[in-house]
Structure 1
Amino acid sequence: MKIRRSITREEMAVITTRILKAAGDELPKKHEAVKFSDTPLISAFARDAVNLMTEGGFIEGRSSGSVAPKSQATRAEAAVLVARVMGLI
């Protein structure tokens, strides 16, 4: 990952998962694994992280039934993810 470029939704999942694991936090499993319409597009390095984040209720798919792994993460998505990880929402 390059420092000065935007991150994708799958990269955001990987970064968040790594931070939580490094902090010693167990990731909750609130949902079963979700099969999104674009699941095959999730990079191999991000598959586990995306699954953990969706199972924990931290990341949701889009209304189209996709997770949009290659889409740029928006500020709103990042803010919601941080709030969910902190238990604020």
Structure 2
Amino acid sequence: MRVQALAAAQKISVPRLYERALTTGGVVASAKLSRIHDELYGVRRLLAIDSNNLNQLARVANATERLEAEAELLATIEHLSKVADRITAVIESLPDSERA
């Protein structure tokens, strides 16, 4: 029953859970990897939203010629882009069977 509960919690079949367990080092490791995977994608989505918002702020600053914060906005956008790239690299380093 515990295996079925773990599979259900990860929204996968029991055979898929066993497959993950074999490739990740066990059922518990598989569950942890699944949580990490979900968290990374969630964080990446949030960073994308923040980047979009900052781009909109930069457009407004450019349109109104209020340049006081332009350098800061550009630096923040660059930083968010680098963080998103790092997260993508981590996701891509996961085994193919673990990528959505």
- TM-score class, shorter: under 0.3
Q: Which of 1 and 2 has greater Rg?
A: 2
- Higher normalized contact order (CA 8 Å, seq sep 6+, divided by chain length): 1
TM-score (norm: length of structure 2)? 0.26
**Larger helix proportion of the pair:** 2
